Amino acid sequence: MTAKIVCRARNTRAGLLVGQAVAVLALCGATSVHATVTRGVTSTTDPHGTPAQLPMVQVNASLLDIPPFDIPAALSVATVAPADAGTPGVNLSETLVGIPGILARDRQNYAQDEQVSIRGFGARATFGVRSIRVFMDGIPATLPDGQGQVSQFNLDSADRVEVLRGPFSVLYGNAAGGVVQLWSADGTPTPQTTLGMDAGSYDTFRYSADTRGTIGAVDYNIAGSEFLSGGYRQHSRVRRESDNAKFGIDLGRQRKLTLVLNRLYQPHTQDPLGLTRAQVDADPRQATPVASLYDTRKSIRQNQLGAIYEQQTDNGDQWRLMGYYGRRSIVQYLSIPPGPQKNPLQSGGVVSPDTGYGGADLRWTHRGLLAGRSYELVVGASGDYQRQHRTGYENFIGSTLGVRGRLRRNEHDNVNDVAQYAQWYWYMARRWSLLLGLRHDRVRFAEHDFYITASNPDDSGHVTYSATTPVLGLQFRPSDNLRLYVSYGKGFETPSYNELGYRSDGQAGLAFNLRPARSRNLELGTKWRLGHGLEFDAAAFRADTSNELAVATNQNGRATYRNVGDARRQGVELSLAGELGHAWRIKAGFTHLQARFRSGFLTCTGTPCSATASTPVPAGSRIPGVPDNYGSLRLEHGDELGWREGLTLSGVGSVSVNDTDSQRAAGYGLVDADVSYGFALDASSTLQLSARVANLADRRYIGSVIVNGGNGRYFEPGPDRTYMLGARLTF
């Protein structure tokens, strides 16, 4: 069973103690755990420069064929086991237990996707994923403007999730405060099919099917799932269909073609909106009344196709060509009243962007010797585009609310991103290695306005951002089981179209006055293998940002943004993962993070927020949405057959919800427990039955927050005690 005991922390100190408790339990439990967080082998070459065997698990987050243990960066790899009773396979956060630095907060609102941040980057996102690059099977799930999502991830077909943090993330370009990659498993030599069903509280059901195998020169992995829920809160019903297919085709002569297709369909997802503190205290399950009044909701349809061609040459070089195309359509009904829409410059209460996107990446990898020492060189170029037809409509007809009315916005929003990059990894001495990287990006935004009236002029325009981002890493190896490293890099982040889309002064057109944020990132770290299958990692980091992008206003489901000067995110990460022995496994991670504005600025505090900012936010104030401490730990015992028990502990410190820090969401601690039993039906078939209980103490807590939410509706409550039963048949 998955049982969650919620310990509510009512102030910053209590939140700190919760986070510290997670770390202490993680370290104290390391006495006797097959970690879901996987590490690579020691090296791709021996000390004399002779090529050695690559790790069994290929890790791609660094673009290089180097094990995580030998990369001078914070890189975690979490294996995904759909049959694990502790992971029902609905949210990405299920796979991230024990990984420090990253925080995925489930909103209990599937109209807005998970709230994902890495070292404080991305916490401002009101929906989707910002400031983090997201990939699926090496194909971007982040659009060229920097806006991404994780809802298209299908965990039934997944093999692992890679999380790259720190300076080397910048080599992925625009808005790379961190990198999250999900990789599908290859097809198995023997065909295998898994059917799953879960049922739980609040009319929650999940059905899944995955089949994988090999036919001749083709290996395949095809998965589909449907998730249905009435929702913990009122007006939060969801239906989500997710499909993913991966085909690996051996073309002979060291050539391979990989095809990846995925589909996401959410035809009608209700949006309960955020709650005020008084509403949370009265009834955390309620929806804001205007959510029902305007029937706030969202529908999503996305289809994507990607192809990767790999060619190994006779001299050991490798060519890789990737191309992809997708289309994403959204219709979202907001709670904007008819009154503000009388303004001829207002773009309406129904948002309907239809986006076609695609791109290509060509990469060459060369391995050789320099001064008798092995090196690996990667040189590549990429281009991505985004063609968005954005329309807006009134959300009323006469006195009828929550319906599509007159057209109020009609424009084409286009983005083109062209980049060149290179990485060079060199074992320059017996115990030393060097990793250098350089990337140049040029991102062009263009708006073509087709909604032109006498009172709404032509708002067409364009803006171009560019940056060159270098990175350097140095690693020292005192022994075979210990690595010490330092890395430094510069990054940049353009505003996305969602951030350019509305001006904070209330005027029509895009906010072309926004400037890209630029960062300087430093990291010191160590990786230590304590014994067979057990590893401890630690990293200290600092990221200084200029032209920090922040939420200016957030009213009726619509956010505007601004630049607020300098900011700093610094802290420490700790993780422990591996085998404890006798079928016991552990994975634990803890993060202490200080995210602060270093420049003072003015903000507005009215409800609704006016265009005039007059309330000072002093330098040193907390960046909202970012906790000072958070962590997670999982202990697990047993194997796939027979009894299997798991215990998961997670903690998050208190979170400021607005720039003035006038209100906070209290910190909390959660304990999950699960149990399953697997048995063989015959020589090739198994059945696993599982049970989970969430929030055993039935306590209240805030699962996520809406930064600078309008009308004081900052809070999205987490669920009370819930239950789920599951069954998976594999044959």
pLDDT attached to residue 17: 34
Q: Tell me which DSSP letter residue 343 carries.
A: S
How confident is the model over 294-316, as a mean pLDDT?
A: 95
| Contact call for residues 308 and 359 (beta carbons, < 8 A) | no
- The lowest-confidence range among 66-70, 74-78, 461-465 is 66-70
**Residue 40 pLDDT greater than 80, yes or no:** no
Residue 367 has pLDDT above 90, yes or no: yes
Three-class DSSP category at 476: strand
Band of residue 62 on the pLDDT scale cut at 50, 70, 90: low
Asked if the structure places residue 233 within a domain, the reply is yes
| Average pLDDT of the residues in 350-375 | 95
Residue 555 pLDDT more than 90? no
**Domain containing 142 — which CATH number?**
2.40.170.20
**With 60 as the cut, is the pLDDT of residue 211 above it?**
yes
Lowest mean pLDDT among 165-169, 364-368, 580-584: 580-584
So what's the pLDDT on residue 307? 98
Q: How much is the average pLDDT of 596-609?
A: 79
Q: Are 593 and 571 contacting, i.e. CB atoms less than 8 angstroms apart?
A: yes
Confidence band, pLDDT 50/70/90 cuts, at residue 23: very low
Residue 610: what pLDDT?
57
Residue 378: φ, ψ to 5°: -125, 125
- Mean residue pLDDT of the chain comes to 87
> What's the DSSP call for residue 13?
H
Whether 2 is in a domain gets the answer no
Beta bridge partners of 558: 555
Number of domains in the chain: 1
Is the pLDDT reported for residue 403 higher than 80? yes
pLDDT at residue 193, rounded to an integer = 96
Please give the average per-residue pLDDT across 52-62, as a whole number.
41
434 pLDDT above the threshold of 60: yes
State residue 82's pLDDT score: 59
Rg of the chain's alpha carbons, rounded to an integer? 25
Tell me: the pLDDT tens digits for 682-719?
989 999 999 999 888 888 999 999 988 878 899 999 99
> What SS3 class is residue 222?
strand
From 172-186, 201-215, 412-426, 585-599, the region with the lowest mean pLDDT: 172-186
> Which of 385, 390, 321 is closest to 358 using CA atoms?
385
CB-side exposure of 477: number of CA atoms within 13 Å? Answer: 20
Q: pLDDT grade, residue 527 (50/70/90)?
A: very high
Mean pLDDT of 517-540: 93
pLDDT exceeds cutoff 80 at 42: no
pLDDT at 113: 81
Q: Which residues of 300-310 are buried (b: 16+ CB within 10 A; e: fewer)?
A: bbbbbbbbbbb
- Asked whether residue 15 carries a pLDDT value surpassing 50, the answer given is no
Confidence of residue 609 (pLDDT cuts 50, 70, 90): low
Q: What is the pLDDT of residue 699?
A: 85
Residues 6+ apart with CB under 8 A from 574: 23, 26, 100, 536, 537, 538, 589, 590, 591
Identify whether 1 is part of a domain.
Answer: no
Range of the domain at 641: 7-342+351-730
Distance CA 366, CA 318 (A): 7
26 vs 150, residue with greater confidence: 150
Q: Which of 227-241, 283-297, 490-504, 616-630 has the lowest mean pLDDT?
A: 490-504
Global confidence as pTM: 0.88
CB atoms within 10 A of CB 713: 23
